[in-house]
Amino acid sequence: MSSKWKDFRLYVITGVNYHPGRSLMTVMEQTLQGGADIIQLRAKDMTKREVLAQAYALRKLTRHYDVPLIINDHIDIALAVDADGVHLGQDDLPLAEARRILGADRIIGISTHSIEQALRAERDGADYIGVGPVFPTGTKPGRQAVTTSYVQEAAQRIRIPFVAIGGITTSNVNEVLAAGAARICAVSAIVGSDDPAHECRSFLQAIHASDQSK
Ligand code: 3NM
């Protein structure tokens, strides 16, 4: 795939628990209308078939908006629906194995929680990394926040795209941007909001304002 995807600024991950009564497709379409420019399907407590069905639906939607689709964990599902890539955690399939299965043209993102993990992911050929959780978050309970000091270190030392994640809201996003993040990811603040499109626009406004101040 072309490297245009690297220009993403606002990465939105699904989180159906945050919008009971509203469908996944409705909420994700609202995020796309608000300017989300990369989407990840993350469905932790679902059967493979349920994830597959959601992946097909999101593939259709993201194609319509010409936005990359990343699948969390499930490499087979990513291939089945022709997603643009996968996102893997530190305990998932090692990057080299994932790369062997997916080939050079699909995006592989890795969650990192320390600069050592980030440098290793970069060295091993990740296309981008997640840096977080920046703040404590109910979406990943029990994981200690890495604070904006890790964002700062990543900004100084990591050459591949990195996206700050974890507990980020429109109220604290400026701290994260000031620490050097150029790309922001959120789940609850966006998909759990009454107006996901508006929330996306607010995040993007903060991101673009931060560009102007650099
Ligand atoms: N990964 P919210 S933090 C899915 O640090 C995820 O790798 C993280 O959700 C990491 O925006 C996180 O609701 C949760 O805090 C992000």
Per-residue pLDDT of the chain (214 residues; tens, 9 = 90+): 788 999 999 999 999 999 999 999 999 999 999 999 999 999 998 999 999 999 999 999 999 999 999 999 999 999 999 999 999 999 999 999 999 999 999 999 999 999 999 999 999 999 999 999 999 999 999 899 999 999 999 999 999 999 999 999 999 999 999 999 999 999 999 999 999 999 999 999 999 999 999 8
ipTM of the predicted assembly exceeds 0.95: yes
Taking the CA atoms of the chain, what radius of gyration do you get in angstroms? Answer: 16
At residue 2, the pLDDT reads 80
CB 174 within 8 Å of CB 151 = no
Let me know if 75 is exposed, middle or buried by CB neighbors in 10 A (0-12, 13-18, 19+). buried
* pLDDT score, position 60: 98
Please state, as a whole number, how many other Cβ atoms lie within 10 Å of the Cβ of residue 134. 26
Is 40 known as a binding-site position? yes
**Distance linking the first and last C-alpha atoms of the chain:** 30
Residue 212 CA to residue 61 CA, distance in Å, equals: 32
- Testing ligand 1's pocket by substitution, the residue of 10, 13, 90 carrying the most ligand atoms inside 8 A of its CB is 13
Supply 184's token pair.
């922001």
CB of 202 shorter than 6 A to ligand 1: no
What CA–CA distance (Å, rounded) separates 127 from 129? 7
Q: What is the pLDDT of residue 113?
A: 98
Please list the residues that pair with 12 across neighbouring strands: 39, 186
- The pLDDT assigned to 214 comes to 82
Judged by DSSP in three states, 127 sits in coil
Expressed in angstroms and rounded, the spacing between residue 136 Cα and the centre of ligand 1 is 9
Q: Do the annotations mark residue 174 as ligand-binding? A: no
Return the best residue to mutate from 137, 147, 188, 190 for the ligand 1 pocket (most ligand atoms within 8 A of CB). 137
> In this predicted structure, what is the pLDDT of residue 192?
98
What is the pLDDT, as a whole number, of residue 198? 98
